[in-house]
Amino acid sequence: MQLEEFNTMAAEDARRLVRPCVDIDSWVDAVVEGRPYADPAALLGRADEQARTWTAAEVEGALADHPRIGERHAGSGTSAAMSGREQAGVDPHDAEVQRRLAAGNAAYEERFDRIYLVRAAGRSAEEILALLEERLGNDPETEIAVTAGQLREIALLRLEGLLA
Protein backbone atom coordinates (compact mmCIF):
# COMPACT_ATOMS: atom_id res chain seq x y z
CA MET A 1 0.00 0.00 0.00
CA GLN A 2 1.17 3.49 -0.77
CA LEU A 3 1.17 6.17 1.93
CA GLU A 4 -1.12 8.38 -0.18
CA GLU A 5 -3.71 5.60 -0.22
CA PHE A 6 -3.51 5.29 3.58
CA ASN A 7 -3.78 9.06 3.98
CA THR A 8 -6.99 9.25 1.95
CA MET A 9 -8.89 6.07 2.89
CA ALA A 10 -11.95 6.24 5.10
CA ALA A 11 -11.10 6.30 8.81
CA GLU A 12 -12.79 2.96 9.53
CA ASP A 13 -10.90 1.32 6.68
CA ALA A 14 -7.65 2.77 7.98
CA ARG A 15 -8.42 1.46 11.49
CA ARG A 16 -9.09 -2.02 10.11
CA LEU A 17 -5.82 -1.86 8.20
CA VAL A 18 -3.58 -0.88 11.14
CA ARG A 19 -5.29 -2.81 13.97
CA PRO A 20 -3.46 -6.09 13.15
CA CYS A 21 -0.21 -4.23 13.87
CA VAL A 22 -1.28 -4.04 17.53
CA ASP A 23 -4.74 -4.30 19.04
CA ILE A 24 -4.64 -1.20 21.24
CA ASP A 25 -7.44 1.27 20.56
CA SER A 26 -5.52 4.39 21.65
CA TRP A 27 -2.68 3.54 19.26
CA VAL A 28 -4.93 2.68 16.33
CA ASP A 29 -6.92 5.88 16.83
CA ALA A 30 -3.82 8.08 17.17
CA VAL A 31 -2.19 6.63 14.05
CA VAL A 32 -5.35 7.09 12.00
CA GLU A 33 -6.18 10.53 13.39
CA GLY A 34 -2.63 11.74 12.66
CA ARG A 35 -3.23 11.56 8.92
CA PRO A 36 -2.22 12.88 6.49
CA TYR A 37 1.44 11.97 6.86
CA ALA A 38 4.06 13.70 4.72
CA ASP A 39 6.17 10.55 4.45
CA PRO A 40 6.56 7.09 5.97
CA ALA A 41 8.99 8.41 8.57
CA ALA A 42 6.32 10.78 9.89
CA LEU A 43 3.82 7.92 10.15
CA LEU A 44 6.30 5.65 11.93
CA GLY A 45 7.36 8.51 14.21
CA ARG A 46 3.76 9.14 15.28
CA ALA A 47 3.20 5.40 15.80
CA ASP A 48 6.37 5.10 17.88
CA GLU A 49 5.50 8.16 19.96
CA GLN A 50 2.02 6.83 20.71
CA ALA A 51 3.34 3.34 21.52
CA ARG A 52 5.53 4.83 24.24
CA THR A 53 2.37 5.91 26.10
CA TRP A 54 0.89 2.41 26.45
CA THR A 55 -0.18 1.39 29.91
CA ALA A 56 0.58 -2.01 31.40
CA ALA A 57 -3.12 -2.88 31.02
CA GLU A 58 -3.08 -1.99 27.31
CA VAL A 59 0.03 -4.10 26.77
CA GLU A 60 -1.45 -7.06 28.63
CA GLY A 61 -4.69 -6.75 26.65
CA ALA A 62 -2.82 -6.73 23.34
CA LEU A 63 -1.05 -9.98 24.21
CA ALA A 64 -4.30 -11.85 23.58
CA ASP A 65 -3.68 -11.44 19.86
CA HIS A 66 -0.23 -13.07 19.99
CA PRO A 67 0.56 -16.78 20.13
CA ARG A 68 3.24 -18.26 22.33
CA ILE A 69 6.65 -18.29 20.71
CA GLY A 70 6.93 -21.54 18.81
CA GLU A 71 3.18 -21.91 18.36
CA ARG A 72 0.92 -20.92 15.49
CA HIS A 73 -1.57 -18.09 15.79
CA ALA A 74 -5.06 -19.47 16.44
CA GLY A 75 -6.65 -17.08 13.95
CA SER A 76 -6.58 -16.89 10.19
CA GLY A 77 -6.55 -13.16 9.46
CA THR A 78 -3.89 -10.54 8.85
CA SER A 79 -2.46 -10.73 12.37
CA ALA A 80 -2.07 -14.51 12.08
CA ALA A 81 -0.25 -14.15 8.75
CA MET A 82 2.05 -11.50 10.20
CA SER A 83 2.80 -13.66 13.22
CA GLY A 84 3.65 -16.64 11.04
CA ARG A 85 6.17 -14.62 9.02
CA GLU A 86 7.68 -13.15 12.19
CA GLN A 87 8.31 -16.56 13.73
CA ALA A 88 9.96 -17.96 10.60
CA GLY A 89 13.27 -18.35 12.50
CA VAL A 90 11.70 -20.95 14.80
CA ASP A 91 11.64 -24.35 13.12
CA PRO A 92 8.40 -26.10 14.14
CA HIS A 93 10.02 -29.46 13.30
CA ASP A 94 13.04 -29.04 15.61
CA ALA A 95 11.93 -31.13 18.58
CA GLU A 96 14.66 -29.86 20.91
CA VAL A 97 13.86 -26.20 20.19
CA GLN A 98 10.15 -26.89 20.64
CA ARG A 99 10.82 -28.65 23.97
CA ARG A 100 12.97 -25.77 25.22
CA LEU A 101 10.42 -23.18 24.10
CA ALA A 102 7.56 -25.05 25.76
CA ALA A 103 9.51 -25.27 29.03
CA GLY A 104 10.59 -21.62 28.81
CA ASN A 105 7.07 -20.44 27.95
CA ALA A 106 5.69 -22.38 30.95
CA ALA A 107 8.31 -20.93 33.30
CA TYR A 108 7.64 -17.41 32.01
CA GLU A 109 3.88 -17.78 32.37
CA GLU A 110 4.31 -19.15 35.88
CA ARG A 111 6.52 -16.20 36.84
CA PHE A 112 4.66 -13.34 35.11
CA ASP A 113 1.14 -14.71 34.47
CA ARG A 114 1.18 -13.78 30.77
CA ILE A 115 2.74 -15.06 27.56
CA TYR A 116 6.36 -14.37 26.70
CA LEU A 117 6.39 -11.81 23.90
CA VAL A 118 9.49 -11.04 21.91
CA ARG A 119 10.08 -9.49 18.51
CA ALA A 120 10.84 -12.73 16.70
CA ALA A 121 11.34 -11.19 13.25
CA GLY A 122 14.99 -11.43 12.31
CA ARG A 123 15.90 -13.56 15.32
CA SER A 124 16.90 -17.19 15.45
CA ALA A 125 15.38 -19.69 17.86
CA GLU A 126 18.61 -19.59 19.89
CA GLU A 127 18.41 -15.79 20.22
CA ILE A 128 14.77 -16.01 21.27
CA LEU A 129 15.57 -18.67 23.86
CA ALA A 130 18.53 -16.67 25.23
CA LEU A 131 16.31 -13.60 25.62
CA LEU A 132 13.66 -15.71 27.33
CA GLU A 133 16.16 -17.05 29.85
CA GLU A 134 17.53 -13.56 30.47
CA ARG A 135 14.09 -12.04 30.96
CA LEU A 136 13.07 -14.68 33.52
CA GLY A 137 15.42 -12.82 35.86
CA ASN A 138 13.56 -9.53 35.56
CA ASP A 139 11.32 -8.18 38.28
CA PRO A 140 7.66 -7.71 37.23
CA GLU A 141 7.94 -3.93 36.67
CA THR A 142 11.02 -4.27 34.50
CA GLU A 143 9.49 -7.12 32.56
CA ILE A 144 6.26 -5.31 31.67
CA ALA A 145 8.40 -2.43 30.37
CA VAL A 146 10.49 -4.87 28.29
CA THR A 147 7.31 -6.52 27.00
CA ALA A 148 5.91 -3.12 26.02
CA GLY A 149 9.12 -2.37 24.14
CA GLN A 150 8.94 -5.67 22.28
CA LEU A 151 5.27 -5.07 21.43
CA ARG A 152 6.19 -1.61 20.14
CA GLU A 153 8.92 -3.07 17.92
CA ILE A 154 6.47 -5.63 16.53
CA ALA A 155 3.81 -2.97 15.86
CA LEU A 156 6.24 -0.67 14.08
CA LEU A 157 7.66 -3.47 11.93
CA ARG A 158 4.15 -4.54 10.98
CA LEU A 159 3.12 -0.97 10.16
CA GLU A 160 6.25 -0.47 8.08
CA GLY A 161 5.46 -3.71 6.28
CA LEU A 162 2.04 -2.40 5.29
CA LEU A 163 3.76 0.39 3.39
CA ALA A 164 6.22 -1.90 1.61
| Structure confidence at residue 65 (pLDDT) | 81
Give the start-to-end residue ranges of the domains of the chain.
3-162
| Structure confidence at residue 84 (pLDDT) | 57
| Structure confidence at residue 72 (pLDDT) | 64
| Structure confidence at residue 74 (pLDDT) | 56
Measured CA distances, 59 to 52, 66, 96, 150 (Å):
11, 11, 30, 10
| Structure confidence at residue 124 (pLDDT) | 87
Distance from C-alpha of 50 to C-alpha of 152, rounded to nearest angstrom: 9
Architecture of domain 3-162: Orthogonal Bundle (1.10)
pLDDT digits (tens, 9 = 90+) for 71-93: 665 555 666 566 556 665 666 77
Nearest of 93, 92, 83, 91 to residue 117 by alpha carbon:
83
Which stretches of the chain score pLDDT less than 70?
71-91
| Structure confidence at residue 71 (pLDDT) | 67
Measured CA distances, 34 to 23, 38, 91 (Å):
17, 11, 39
| Structure confidence at residue 68 (pLDDT) | 83
Distance from C-alpha of 62 to C-alpha of 23, rounded to nearest angstrom: 5
**Which residues, in sequence order, are CB contacts of 61 under 8 Å at separation 6+?**
23, 24
